[in-house]
């Protein structure tokens, strides 16, 4: 049952575990028996005719949008901007001639996102909502909806909706690429299935992350997540997860930004989690790890098979370089979960936060 914990102590753990199944469900929902994608023709046309995509979202959904930008730009060759919903109207960018607005929202009820939707509809622009709740406000008020098919997400900290958002954004990008006859040199749906299996192998190794937290997080007041390129976006999400539920002050940083200020925060034993899943930045993120380790940090590298080194704390299975965020985030979700658990925090209902924020 989707709305019951069953044998799980917390919804969050259950929802982390459900991610491989959600991936498979998304593949099944969006691909027919002839391996064709089943996207609404109107959405396909909207993507084909727009000259720029504006992604609007908040919180975790914003982090999914940052990764979605890469999918859409790299696969379907359309420029994309990603905006935090609550900031959009203060700093409205100069819009292109044929903008398409894409709202990403697990709940479909976030007031900050809705106010942008109202604003851009008044301006006459088309909108697509990517949501886990098809009958929600953002879904009803937009022209088009893509469903995440993640099943109800109960824990306040979003996990399976985030990975589902990225998967659906990847499918949207692939569908647009095919419509535009852009050839891809890999089978995206097969790669998504491989990513689902990789996720499952991680959720099967939960104890490793429990131990990592016991050994390294102790009573630390802060922690840092560093990464470059796509890994940086996943670090932003990893830090948000840890903040939300364990109340450890956590920040995600681009590896290259360390030297421009952040390094001053590194003290003896400060936990620093580095994500290293991208071949082209592997050397540079590892030199960042050395920089923080030389200043006493407790550096832990989460790398990907093929790029690993002996001292790495954890190695995720190899997946296509575009899809690493879907898998790379799982260790971070589990780290956050166990950190919160060991601190006696209310994992599913963190203080001061709401699952769906319907006020601006
Ligand atoms: C709240 C939740 C976050 C979520 C954000 C956006 O702050 O606590 O987990 O990422 O809203 O929610 P949405 O439903 O629009 O994705």
* Average pLDDT taken over every residue of the chain: 96
> Relative to the CA of 157, which ligand 1 atom is closest?
9
Q: What is the DSSP string of 111-155?
A: HHHHHHHHHHHHTT--EEEEES-TTSHHHHHSSEEEE-------S
Determine contact, residues 292/263, Cβ cutoff 8 Å.
yes
Over residues 42-91, the pLDDT tens digits come to 999 999 999 999 999 999 999 999 999 999 999 999 999 999 999 998 98
3-state secondary structure 12-40: HHHHHHHHHHHHHHHHHHHECCCCCECCC
Catalytic residue among 5, 180, 206, 355: 355
Euclidean distance between CA atoms 350 and 337, whole angstroms: 12
The closest residue, in CA terms, to atom 3 on ligand 1 is 59
Asked whether 23 and 163 are in contact (CB, 8 A), the reply is yes
Ligand 1 neighbours, Cβ below 6 Å, are 58-61, 105-107, 110, 113, 156, 158, 353, 355-357
Report how far ligand 1's centroid is from the alpha carbon of 62 (Å).
Answer: 9
Is 355 part of the annotated catalytic residue set?
A: yes
> Could you count the other beta carbons within 10 Å of the beta carbon of residue 193?
16
Structure tokens at 2: 């989707």
Predicted pLDDT of residue 1 = 59
ipTM above 0.85, yes or no: yes
Which atom of ligand 1 lies nearest, measured to the CA of 110?
15
C-alpha to C-alpha distance for 327 and 339, rounded to whole angstroms: 20
Beta strand ranges found along 166-322 (DSSP E):
222-227, 249-254, 271-276, 298-304, 314-316
Give me ligand 1 centre to Cα 180, in Å: 33
**Atom nearest to 161 CA in ligand 1:** 16
**Does the pLDDT at position 2 exceed 80?**
no
């Amino acid at each position: 049952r989707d709305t019951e914990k069953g044998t799980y102590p917390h919804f969050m753990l259950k929802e982390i575990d459900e991610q491989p199944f959600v991936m498979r469900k998304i593949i099944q929902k969006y691909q027919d028996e002839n391996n064709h994608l089943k996207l609404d023709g109107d959405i396909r046309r909207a993507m084909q005719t727009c000259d720029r995509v504006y992604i609007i979202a908040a919180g975790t959904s914003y982090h999914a949008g940052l990764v979605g930008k890469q999918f859409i730009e790299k696969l379907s060759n359309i420029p994309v901007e990603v905006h935090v919903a609550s900031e959009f109207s203060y700093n409205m960018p100069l819009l292109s001639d044929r903008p398409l607005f894409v709202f990403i929202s697990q709940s479909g009820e976030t007031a900050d996102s809705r106010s942008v939707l109202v604003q851009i509809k008044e301006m006459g622009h088309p909108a697509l909502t990517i949501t886990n709740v098809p009958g929600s406000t953002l879904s009803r008020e937009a022209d088009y909806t893509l469903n995440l098919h993640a099943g109800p997400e109960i824990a306040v900290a979003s996990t399976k909706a985030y990975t589902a958002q990225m998967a659906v954004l990847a499918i949207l990008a692939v569908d647009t690429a095919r419509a535009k006859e852009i050839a891809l040199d890999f089978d995206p749906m097969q790669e998504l299935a491989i990513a689902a299996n990789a996720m499952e192998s991680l959720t099967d190794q939960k104890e490793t992350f429990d131990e990592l937290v016991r050994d390294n997080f102790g009573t630390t007041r802060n922690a840092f997540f560093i990464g470059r390129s796509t890994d940086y976006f996943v670090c932003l999400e990893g830090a948000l997860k840890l903040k939300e539920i364990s109340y450890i002050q956590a920040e995600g940083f681009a590896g290259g930004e360390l030297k421009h200020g952040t390094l001053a925060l590194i003290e003896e034993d400060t936990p620093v989690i580095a994500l290293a899943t991208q071949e082209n930045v592997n050397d540079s993120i590892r030199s960042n790890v050395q920089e923080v380790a030389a200043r006493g940090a407790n550096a832990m590298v989460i790398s990907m098979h093929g790029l690993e080194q002996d001292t790495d704390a954890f190695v995720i299975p190899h997946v296509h370089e575009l899809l690493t965020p879907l898998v790379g985030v799982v260790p971070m979700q589990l780290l956050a979960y166990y950190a919160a658990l060991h601190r006696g925090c209310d994992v599913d209902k963190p203080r001061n936060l709401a699952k769906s924020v319907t006020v601006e």
